[in-house]
Amino acid sequence: MPCSMPFGDMVNESALEKEQFVVECLTEEHSSHFYPMLTTAKEILKDAREKHYAVPGFNCVADVMIRGILDRAERLHSPVFLMLYTAEVDDKTWWYYPTLVRAVADRYPIPIVMHLDHAVELDPIRAALDNGFTSVMYDGSSLPFDQNVEMTRKTVELAQPYGASVEAELGLVGGFGLEAKNCVSNVLTQPEEVVTFIERTGVDSLAVSIGTAHGTYQQLPKLDIPLLKELNAASTVPLVLHGGSGTPEDQIRAAVENGICKLNVYTDSRVAMWKRFKKIAAETQRSEPIPHDYISQLQEALGDVVEENAILAGSVGRAK
Ligand code: 13P
């Protein structure tokens, strides 16, 4: 049973109260169910939309991060997206990432979606689908509307034979990319474009621009919740919020309450792991440290980000 307690009220409380909140969200019925395979975004976001919570999605590279995320999501009985950011794909990524995720996913008693994030071309989409990704995002946010429609429609056609879900972006969530050089301005999503976009593309979920931005904020955002309400009323598919990191908790909660069903986070994970990395480096005496000793600490730091966002999103205890 999902916890009926208002999760929003808990996030500012002490670590002990957070722990109690998590325990209360978990019941024995979660303990024995194992999912036989990766699930699709369409499937878990349907439940999220019906029950007014969001599923958190975390970008990750390498088994260190994949395990850090999955171990904590398992402990929280939270469904989760493992997201591969297309800009981080190199020539051997298609060997390692999906092979590892596919091998471990059915050992975890939680729904897991393997998702390709921000593809701006069709080749990585094809590669992801061929390698068992159950969800892909085509990001046509910087294209004119009709071209965004056309490319998203092609992505939907490619994904259909695989049974995979497709996320698209309408409007533009700006901010800093991985290179952290150029700041791109937001273009808010127009409600009047939503229906046509969904009808013409057949997309399964829609990332909307309501005031968040990727990367580190220069100044705190102010999400346009009235706009989100309009977008949600117009949309027949679940809405996605990119740029979750650094967004004030009350605004994330308001976004989830008003239709956001997937919450994307990356920068917070990177910052948390980096801070812990520097702390470990400063405190380690041994000249040949045991890798597991520091890797497990990085996973704990990442796990804490997973937990904070799962609580905010209301996904704790939703894996049934
Ligand atoms: P942040 O890095 O700002 O959390 O954004 C992540 C994201 O939206 C990935 O698609």
Domains and CATH numbers, the chain: 7-313 (3.20.20.70)
Q: Which two tokens stand for residue 178?
A: 């991985």
pLDDT at 275: 98
Q: Which atom of ligand 1 is nearest to the CA of 118?
A: 10
pLDDT at 308: 98
**244-301 confidence digits (pLDDT tens):** 999 999 999 999 999 999 999 999 999 999 999 999 999 999 999 999 999 999 999 9
Give the span between the Cα atoms of 188 and 191, in whole angstroms: 9
User: Is pLDDT of 174 > 90?
Assistant: yes
**69-87 confidence digits (pLDDT tens):** 999 999 999 999 999 999 9
pLDDT at 149: 98
User: Is pLDDT of 208 > 80?
Assistant: yes
Average pLDDT over the chain, rounded to whole?
A: 92
State phi, psi for 136 to the nearest 5 degrees.
Answer: -135, 150
Q: How far apart are the first and last CA of the chain?
A: 8
Q: Which atom of ligand 1 is nearest to the CA of 137?
A: 10
**Closest Cα to residue 268, out of 287, 245, 288?**
245
Interval between CA 50 and ligand 1 midpoint (Å): 24
Give the span between the Cα atoms of 267 and 217, in whole angstroms: 10
Nearest CA to ligand 1 atom 8: 242
**Average of per-residue pLDDT across 212-222:** 93
**Average of per-residue pLDDT across 127-152:** 98
pLDDT range class, residue 189, cuts 50, 70, 90:
very high
Mutation choice for ligand 1 from 267, 270, 302, 306, CB with most ligand atoms inside 8 A = 267
pLDDT range class, residue 159, cuts 50, 70, 90:
very high
Give the span between the Cα atoms of 315 and 178, in whole angstroms: 27
Least trusted range by pLDDT, from 1-15, 90-104, 145-159, 221-235: 1-15
Alpha helices in 203-266 (DSSP H): 225-234, 249-257
pLDDT at 6: 37
- CB atoms near residue 28 (< 10 Å): 6
Ligand 1: which residues within 6 Å by Cβ? Answer: 59, 117-118, 214-215, 242-245, 264-268
pLDDT at 176: 86
Mutation choice for ligand 1 from 55, 58, 59, CB with most ligand atoms inside 8 A = 59
Q: Which two tokens stand for residue 261?
A: 């069903």
Q: Which two tokens stand for residue 47?
A: 């439940």
> In b/e form, how buried is each residue of 233-250, taking b as 16+ CB within 10 angstroms?
ebbebbbbbbbbbbbeee
